Structure 1
């Protein structure tokens, strides 16, 4: 009997990491019923991070919270309390682009993310893991900072409006009332290394994904630059060029200004979940994501898991919704789109085809 670990990322907008892991394992077991399967759904700091921790960490407790959504409407969300007192808060669940009824590049906000962080602190969290993928806004984390106590004011001393639109009126910042970091600190889970400003920054690269036109990008950029300048004048000297400052529409910058530190998303999640240790007693691992492409090698979940597999001396297999680049370092790969006869069919019923991919990989492995 072999032990096989299933550690995929979510298939963004289609299926959670936990669902994909279960489907892959079911398909594998349909071919190799004697194998022991271990579910270890992964995340890189984006959508599904809460689910991954909840499945993988015994005793994790999901806590409900009512927040202001990215569109300004109240919504129900949650954060996760781990047994060691660490809280996991996911931006996608509170201020994510999937929560927007329609894209609003100037008005989408991160207030709800800050409210969830504040709720975790009020509950006594001793440390924070802050997953910031999947954002809807380009507000530089202004809404999040406001929810944590900062006062962002216009020239008349009034609190500015939400979103990047409000940054156009920003004149002065009072950061003294900001909540204190917990004793265990706050780590930002993100694999985005973009700076806040410039051609590789938050507005230029990610603004169009959030509904910005070419004419909108310089306006969004100016708002972010104003935020950086005003915070610097308030004594918060964070380099806008810091790697990851541009993550989540500049929320990475806002969190750095608060005092949080960057942590590579996949590696931080894997470390917290104890994945490396799990692979030392396994015979193979299956990982995956919605689309495997040239960017996947830049620290995304499949490459991270494949690296751990090499260290453990076991084969890694890849299952992806689509495969647009040559998979390197894998003992085998299966594309859901190829198995389904097209991407539309795979997206319509991803768990069926994930199970088919699991079965296909099991048939290929002689272990």
Structure 2
């Protein structure tokens, strides 16, 4: 039988690729004759590059040294895909070449020695994008998640040639709070977006500003106190009055407003991350020949069905008529069809602490449990076992 193992990361404990290997090992120990394919997934945040690298063995790894969110140099990895499946060929004999970037690798919160919500910036992301374009990328896919700052992506755009000036004609300092002094956006030196476009992968629907916006909702996670939040929200609102675009668009507030800035000033497209990663990783092709899919995440609940990796996979599996086995650290609700079996790591391990202490062990156990509970009765039919 053909089994596709396509989990999300188990955040805080195990990356998606490691989770996929553990689940597959547990399954294969019980059913060694099955054809098991690993296809770890992501939603545009942590683990996006690893998901692409696992799904696309033809991907080329690159590393570019750029200024991190506090200006100290960081080595940011990114991928160059020779061709996107199903995409129209781009210019040149090699066809369309898509670079996949993660904002968090260049401008992420863990790169800071200490939180700096007022001054942290996304300049490094723009520097990585420039390096990818210099390397021949004709399209960009950028995972937005885990940002350290709240600068509406202006740092990234400045690395690409945008200039921001105050009322005296001086270039603004980097960082979100300085945007309150912005009086002039100079786009004359801004590098054009690639011909194949720029897609921004998001897992949130937050607008740029207001009670549900980037500063108010996510600022405190980056160390912002109430005064910082108010200053950053006002600065973002001020930028929107000058830059135009749609600050209320769902996802505009992603990554400290980077979704808004790259869309308004560089023509980028904001898309749901889980669905886009699944598409570009080749999930549809994997499902076409599968008898079962195993997926999972740290906690499965009602929010899992609202654009997250597992929910997006369930939609595609249902459309393809492929049953699904779900593994979660915790099961907060009963998974809907096409789920034929579900396993909780906490129930297997006996406690949250035990499950978190050795997630690989319990994922292997879960893979074995599913292999024992699920029995084939025909093509694409896997009812629960006794």
Q: What CA deviation, in whole Å up to 9, does each residue of 1:4-33 have, x standing for no partner?
A: 101111122422211111111011111222
* Aligned twin of 1:57: 56
* Aligned twin of 1:5: 4
**1:327 to partner: Cα distance:** 2.1
* Aligned twin of 1:353: 362
Structure 1 CA distance for aligned equivalents of residues 343 and 42 of structure 2: 20
* Aligned twin of 2:259: 252
SS at match of 1:46: coil
**1:100 to partner: Cα distance:** 2.7
* Aligned twin of 2:91: none
* Aligned twin of 1:296: 304
Structural mapping, 1:280-291, within 5 Å = 280-291=288-299
Structure 1 CA distance for aligned equivalents of residues 363 and 113 of structure 2: 29
4+ residue runs over 4 A deviation: none
- The yes-or-no answer on 1:318 pairing with 2:318 is no
Structure 2 CA distance for aligned equivalents of residues 104 and 339 of structure 1: 40
1:130–1:294 distance in 2 versus 1, CA, 3 Å: same
Checking the alignment, whether the CA contact within 8 Å between 2:179 and 2:235 is kept in structure 1 is yes
SS at match of 1:116: helix
Given the alignment, which residue of 103, 107, 115 partners 1:103?
115
**More off after superposition, 165-174 vs 273-282:** 165-174
Structure 1 CA distance for aligned equivalents of residues 127 and 35 of structure 2: 41
* Aligned twin of 1:222: 234
Unpaired runs of 5+ in structure 2?
Answer: 84-96, 377-386
SS at match of 1:161: coil
Given the alignment, which residue of 191, 198, 212 partners 2:224?
212
SS at match of 1:250: helix
- The yes-or-no answer on 1:124 pairing with 2:136 is yes
1:155–1:325 distance in 2 versus 1, CA, 3 Å: farther
SS at match of 1:290: strand
* Aligned twin of 1:234: none
Structure 1 CA distance for aligned equivalents of residues 365 and 171 of structure 2: 54
- The yes-or-no answer on 1:238 pairing with 2:238 is no
> TM-score of the superposition, structure 1-length normalised?
0.94
Q: Compute the RMSD of aligned alpha carbons.
A: 1.5
Structure 2 CA distance for aligned equivalents of residues 253 and 230 of structure 1: 13
Checking the alignment, whether the CA contact within 8 Å between 2:177 and 2:231 is kept in structure 1 is no
**More off after superposition, 348-357 vs 58-67:** 348-357
> TM-score of the superposition, structure 2-length normalised?
0.90
